[in-house]
């Protein structure tokens, strides 16, 4: 006499629970990261954890003025909000006609309202400019990390499966 397999309620619930867990693991974001990726190939050079209110800075030497520039952004959900600029001298691309203060020999512009809320930031790291990416006080040589390739910097939320892979 052969036995017929009949799934019981416990087995059905267990299978349903496993399927729900898999669906959640695939879709629910568990980690927010700042990604630096190649504009042409989408190769990811840097992927670093961030959270809302994390500070992301870009420090470089101005191509014309040959002076230090620092752009600061705050992570806000999946955007980068420009909150501060520091520069040693006025030049092309730097703010004019706005209220600035001075600190430690630098002009400092801190807008009362965000001047830009970006989903991505495009950067062309170069040897002369010496681009450095600063994430919550951790410094990354962007020129070396990207082999001086044009990059897109943006914030992503990743699921558990993406984090594992």
**Extents of the domains making up the chain:** 33-159
Q: How far apart are CA 104 and CA 108, in angstroms?
A: 10
Q: Is the pLDDT of residue 158 over 60?
A: yes
pLDDT of residue 30: 78
106 burial class (0-12, 13-18, 19+ CB within 10 angstroms)?
middle
Rounded (5°) CA angle 117-118-123: 135
99 vs 35: which has the higher pLDDT: 35
121 vs 4: which has the higher pLDDT: 121
pLDDT of residue 95: 75
Q: How confident is the model at residue 27 (pLDDT cuts 50, 70, 90)?
A: low
Of 48, 50, 36, 49, the closest CA to residue 121 belongs to: 36
Q: Is the pLDDT of residue 163 over 70?
A: no
Strands 55-61 and 44-49: unpaired
| Mean pLDDT score, 24-52 | 88
Q: What is the pLDDT of residues 113-136, one digit of tens each?
A: 776 788 999 999 999 999 999 999
What are 109's strand-pairing partners? 85
Q: How far is CA 158 from the centre of its chain?
A: 12
What sign has the CA pseudo-torsion 89, 90, 93, 94? positive
Q: What is the pLDDT of residues 52-110, one digit of tens each?
A: 999 999 999 988 888 999 999 999 989 999 999 999 887 777 777 788 889 998 999 99
């Amino acid at each position: 006499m052969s036995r017929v397999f009949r799934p019981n309620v416990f087995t059905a619930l267990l299978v349903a629970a496993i399927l729900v867990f898999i669906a959640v693991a695939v879709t629910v974001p568990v980690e927010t990261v700042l990604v630096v990726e190649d504009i042409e190939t989408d190769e990811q050079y840097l992927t670093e954890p961030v959270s809302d209110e994390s500070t992301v800075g870009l420090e470089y030497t101005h191509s014309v003025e040959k002076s230090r520039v620092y752009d600061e952004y705050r992570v806000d959900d999946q955007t980068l909000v420009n909150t501060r600029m520091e520069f040693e001298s006025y030049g092309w691309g730097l703010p004019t006609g706005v209220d600035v203060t001075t600190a430690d020999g630098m002009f400092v512009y801190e807008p009362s309202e965000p001047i830009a809320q970006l989903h991505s930031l495009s950067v062309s790291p170069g040897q002369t400019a010496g681009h450095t990416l600063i994430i919550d006080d951790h410094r990354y040589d962007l020129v070396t990390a990207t082999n001086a390739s044009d990059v897109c910097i943006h914030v992503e939320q990743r699921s558990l499966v993406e984090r594992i892979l």
